Amino acid sequence: MFGNQPRNGKGPQNGHYQHGNDHLIELHNVVKTYKSAAGAFTALKGIDLEVDGGEFVAVIGKSGSGKSTLINMITGIDRPTSGEILIGDTAIQNLKEGKLAEWRGRNVGVIFQFFQLLPTLTAAENIMLPMDFCRMYTMRERRERALHLLDLVGVAEQADKLPSTLSGGQQQRVAIARALANDPPILAADEPTGNLDSKTADSVFGLFETLVRQGKTILMVTHDRDLARRATRTVVISDGEVIEEYLAKTFPMLTEEQLKQMTRNLATEKHAPGAVILRQGMTPDKFYLITKGRVEVVLPGADGDEIVATTMIAGQYFGEVELRRGGHNIATIRADAVSGVEVAALDRAEFEQLLAESAAARAAIDQIVAARLVENQAHRAQGGNHHA
């Protein structure tokens, strides 16, 4: 079993890591600007990102969008121009080069598109190298662990062969085993299936899924949207900016520029378990998109008791009925009593501007509004389940 906590064995204390971060990985307003003879180029433009332990995150975007730069920030291969990168209890932007290399060796396993195995070392020796660098395990244990990891990734019989004698798929499996050498909590893979045929790529991806089930946190840059859909979460990058994942799924008809503009205008709200977000009878002024947790849709029962008519989960939204039709909230929306909820809120003016700019988005929202009004009428008539 692989752990998903930092190598020092400490998880967040009282819900927080040392620097106040709640998540295993947090990026706060990360900017990366490269300077060249042609002038300055900003690859990342104020990135905010949170990743929990045990997540499998696919990072997608067009060529040059900033995907690889983002991974290089998280692994410490490159440094931000400004901003903060918190991994567990470590603010990695503050580490000096020697300490950063040691931290990376113990906490992040990096998997490259072109394998980058040392050609003069056998498969087992390539895996033992990170253990030697970080002074982990005895010499005997290093060999035993290398053989165990090669068996884990399905190429135990290749232990004493040089990389040049292995197929591309076998080399990538060795590279994954090497990334696991020091049992890091995080794996970062940059286009790990880019040079593999589809069958081998699917097999490697299946291995990643197994590692996630065993507790690893994986961030994978990929251009393959079919593979990305199999990850537990997708982060979309466009021109150095992150597009809100559920926004892109909710409004696939919008252009990347429109999605970026909407993402900039979203305000993140965290509501404690049981907290009321919208109260029945109030006039709403925001469109809400659920990003984490759940909400309960609550109606008054005939005898005065509350009825939890339904729950809504991440990727669903509420508030659009009243914004489009006018009037007051027809139900109370509150954060789930156990998990609480995180929502991305768009105020009325920005919501209306979005619909004014996109006829397709307006039609999609109005279709949902009509369907929900029918459900509301059915609920009132039957006294049964209701969908807000």
CB burial class (10 A; 0-12, 13-18, 19+) of residue 14? exposed
Four-residue CA torsion sign, 216, 219, 220, 226:
positive
Q: At residue 18, does pLDDT exceed 80?
A: no
Q: State whether 181 and 280 are in the same domain.
A: no
Query: Is there a domain that residue 193 lies in?
Result: yes
Work out the number of other CB atoms within 10 angstroms of the CB of residue 113: 17
Q: Do 276 and 352 have their domain in common?
A: yes
229 and 311 fall within a common domain = no
Task: Write down the pLDDT at residue 57.
Answer: 94
User: Do 231 and 199 share a structural domain?
Assistant: yes
pTM of the model: 0.77
Placement of tokens 């003879």 in the chain: 37
Residues 193 and 71 in one domain: yes
Same domain, 239 and 352: no
Q: What is the pLDDT of residues 66-102, one digit of tens each?
A: 999 999 999 999 999 999 999 988 999 999 988 998 8
Three-class secondary structure of residue 49 per DSSP: strand
Alpha carbon distance 279, 298 (integer Å): 9
The residue ranking higher by pLDDT, 294 or 369, is 294
In-domain check, residue 139: yes
- pLDDT score for 54: 92
Q: Can you tell me the distance from the alpha carbon of 252 to that of 268, in angstroms, rounded to the nearest whole number?
A: 21
Question: Looking at the domain assignment, is residue 78 inside a domain?
Answer: yes
| Mean pLDDT calculated for residue range 325-345 | 88
Considering the domain architecture, whether residues 200 and 136 belong to the same structural domain is answered as: yes
Q: Of 32, 49, 50, nearest to 41 (Cα)?
A: 32
Instruction: Please indicate, yes or no, if residue 281 is contained in any of the structural domains.
Output: yes
Residues 90 and 236 in one domain: yes
- The helix/strand count (H/E) of the chain reads as 12, 17
Among the listed residues 186, 176, 192, the one whose alpha carbon sits nearest the alpha carbon of residue 212: 186
Q: What is the DSSP string of 88-128?
A: TTEEGGG--HHHHHHHHHHHEEEE-TT----TTS-HHHHHH
CA atoms within 13 A on the CB side of 375: 15
How far is 61 from 68, CA to CA, in rounded Å? 10
Lowest mean pLDDT across 44-48, 208-212, 297-301, 351-355: 297-301
Specify if 41 maps to a domain.
yes
- pLDDT given for residue 372 in this prediction: 73
Task: Please indicate, yes or no, whether residues 65 and 147 belong to a single structural domain of this protein.
Answer: yes
The band of 378, judged by pLDDT with boundaries at 50, 70 and 90, is low
Q: Which of 104, 85, 105, 107 is nearest to 94 (CA)?
A: 85
| 254 assigned to some structural domain | no
Residues above pLDDT 70, as percent of the chain: 91
Asked if 76 and 108 count as a contact pair (C-beta separation under 8 A), the reply is yes
Same domain, 82 and 223: yes
Specify the pLDDT at position 379.
57
Q: In this structure, is residue 11 part of a structural domain?
A: no
Query: Are 59 and 208 part of one and the same domain?
Result: yes
Structural domains counted in the chain: 2
Residue ending a domain, among 243, 275, 291, is 243
Domain with 65 in it: what CATH number?
3.40.50.300
Work out the average pLDDT over 112-126. 90
The CATH number of the domain holding residue 342 is: 2.60.120.10
Give the pLDDT confidence score for residue 153 in this predicted structure: 84
Domain that holds residue 312: 260-382
**Residue that terminates a domain, selected from 193, 215, 243:** 243
Residues 55 and 156 in one domain: yes
Q: Which among 210, 243, 276 is the end of a domain?
A: 243
Give 191's pLDDT tier (boundaries 50, 70, 90).
confident
